[in-house]
Structure 1
Amino acid sequence: MKTTQKSPEAGSSPSVKQLVDEPETVTTIDTGYENLYEVACLSDEEIWTSGDDNTVKLFSINQGSLLKSIKTKSGNMPWDIAVTTSGDLVYTDNSDRTVNIVKNEEIEEVIRLQNWIPRGICSTSSGDLLVIMISDDKQTKVVRYSGSIEKQTNQFDDKGKLLYSSSRYNTYYITENRNLDICVSDEGPKAVVVVNQAGKLRFRYTGNTPAPRNKRFYPGGITTDSQSHILTADIDNDCVHVIDQDGQFLRYIDCGLSEPHGLCIDTNDNLFVAQNGNKQVKKVKYLQ
């Protein structure tokens, strides 16, 4: 891990919360997927999920019951899902190169790419969408969209080197931190790559030793909380890494997780983990 510059604080400071000594599982939700990959918080009561079929499912957190199941427009598996600031679900379709939004159970195509394949997606505090995508000739970039309008592209560092790995077979996930940094989980170099709002590289985080299973860091889903912590699933070590906004390791969340993939945080800083190992979403309390 190499830190290149300090991060400014964004806006008013949130109330200070401390990491608990032992993260606690609050509840688990069975999803019914053959393989479970993603989770996105709609509210403190409801979560969206997706897996290896062509449906996105909405669950009640408290009851654990299925509230809604919607098939993708193309019939393809959604690659990644997110919830916008207005409460709509968005998902990337890796196979037909589109970004889609679900409004009142109707699906609208927002972005259709040529020569690029969308992977990870997130909604920002300003209402923009950030999409990480790969090209047919093996390049990778992050693009900021307002609706379907492209506003910004991050692809290279100050020395002209690619910020992100370049393989059509790698997985990438993305989130925005409270200080407006853009955080990408990049499977290729097994790293979290963080740039500031302008796209300038701040640091790369490549894991911490010792790891719970003594395996190499294998980053999956990524999210942030009210304290500007960055949380990244570590699929091979069955845990979640918590680092601060400047890339310093703080702790593992290692509470019986099973192949964690997707992550999201609700407004009360509860962590939701999509576990492919047992096809369950686990709600975890780790801050107080």
Structure 2
Amino acid sequence: MVKENQILDMFGKLQLKNSNVSDKQQSVLQLMETPVTLKEIQSPYGNKSELWRITCEGTGKLWVSGNNGTINQIDWDGSILKTINLSKNAVGLSLNVQQEIVFIKGWEDTKVFKYKNNNVVTLLELSNWRPRGLCHTINGNLLISMRSLDEAQSRVVRYSGSSECQVIMNDKRGKPLFSVHSRTVLHLIENGNGDICVADYAGNAVVVVNSSGILRFRYGGNKITKKKNKTFEPLNIVNDKQCHILIHNQLNNNVHIIDCDGNFIRYIKYPCNGGISVDTDHNLVVGESVTGKIRIIKYLE
């Protein structure tokens, strides 16, 4: 439910486009026929550890995490700029508007954490819920997907600061929008059109709702090429300048690109089970879990 006095906090004020923005920035980018790898980076993972998550900080810096209880900030040469040591593995990462890293650690924790002034601090305590994914919206709100401790319910909650201002849980008929499974993630993004897109791994679908929480569509994989004995397993999810939704399919370790209405466009076939992100130059950034390698891929022009 959305509280009326928090509408402005959620969506911000309408602003006119900056007349100083270049024609190139305003122009529509097209998908390249053949994506090109611009750079390959060796992350701190891959030597007896696995790379799991990637979040771009602009262009040239990355935040990465894996299964060795650390979060690392690295540059495009793979040099470690900062290391955060944790008691558990970070299973979700997001950067807030102040460029502070916000994260989820472990599968059993009911808290969301932030790294501030070289210290890990608790940002939110969810009490009867476990966080399963998180992302920041364009106006600074925090969206958190979560599952109840009794594993009976899943939901997405919008926070303005520490205040809960929207809960997305059921469709118009009162049926659950999201699956329930204790240990699987529910990664999510806010698309440029205001839609909230949730990679429901256990539900084998990407669930897309509008800013009011009304279901727009479910994407269950490319029906044309999908084999009958294959299941769509969406794990990581990002969006780009054109409101494309880019989905990592864990089953065959590639990226599905769909438009904002759920129509399949194409695949990008690079190893990406170590996380995906998009930088501010509109490049796709994908990680390979076992080797820890990260590739910067140009796919728009």
What TM-score do the two structures reach when normalised by structure 2? Answer: 0.86
- Aligned-partner Cα distance in 2 for 1:266–1:134: 29
Q: Does 1:31 align with 2:43?
A: yes
Distance 1:149-1:84 versus aligned 2 partners, 3 A rule: same
Q: Does 1:101 align with 2:114?
A: yes
The answer to whether the Cα contact below 8 Å between 1:220 and 1:261 also exists between their aligned partners in 2 is no
CA shift for structure 1 position 259? 4.8
Partner of 2:234: 219
- Aligned-partner Cα distance in 2 for 1:278–1:215: 26
Counterparts of 1:15-94 in structure 2 under 5 Å?
15-33=27-45, 34-61=49-76, 63-72=77-86, 75-93=87-105, 94=107
The answer to whether the Cα contact below 8 Å between 1:177 and 1:230 also exists between their aligned partners in 2 is yes
Counterparts of 1:40-189 in structure 2 under 5 Å?
40-61=55-76, 63-72=77-86, 75-93=87-105, 94-138=107-151, 139-189=153-203
The answer to whether the Cα contact below 8 Å between 2:59 and 2:279 also exists between their aligned partners in 1 is yes
CA shift for structure 1 position 36? 1.1
Greater mean alpha carbon deviation, residues 191-200 or residues 229-238: 229-238
The runs of at least 4 aligned residues of structure 1 exceeding 3 Å deviation read 10-14
The answer to whether the Cα contact below 8 Å between 2:44 and 2:80 also exists between their aligned partners in 1 is no
- Aligned-partner Cα distance in 2 for 1:90–1:140: 21
Cα-Cα RMSD: 1.9
Greater mean alpha carbon deviation, residues 240-249 or residues 107-116: 107-116
Counterparts of 1:184-263 in structure 2 under 5 Å?
184-208=198-222, 209-210=224-225, 215-254=230-269, 257-263=270-276
Deviations 1:182-231 (A, max 9, x none): 0000111211100000000000000014269x943221110100000000
The answer to whether the Cα contact below 8 Å between 2:272 and 2:286 also exists between their aligned partners in 1 is no
- Aligned-partner Cα distance in 2 for 1:121–1:181: 15
CA shift for structure 1 position 15? 2.4
- Aligned-partner Cα distance in 1 for 2:278–2:97: 14
Partner of 2:20: none
Partner of 2:3: none
What amino acid sits opposite 1:97 in the alignment? T
The answer to whether the Cα contact below 8 Å between 1:223 and 1:265 also exists between their aligned partners in 2 is yes
- Aligned-partner Cα distance in 2 for 1:118–1:96: 8
**Number of residues paired by the alignment?**
273
Q: Work out which of the two has the higher radius of gyration on C-alpha atoms and give 1 or 2.
A: 2
Structure 1 residue runs without a partner (length 5+): 1-9
Distance 1:125-1:27 versus aligned 2 partners, 3 A rule: same
- Aligned-partner Cα distance in 2 for 1:158–1:273: 36
- Aligned-partner Cα distance in 2 for 1:196–1:167: 24
Structure 2 residue runs without a partner (length 5+): 1-13, 18-24
The answer to whether the Cα contact below 8 Å between 2:44 and 2:78 also exists between their aligned partners in 1 is no
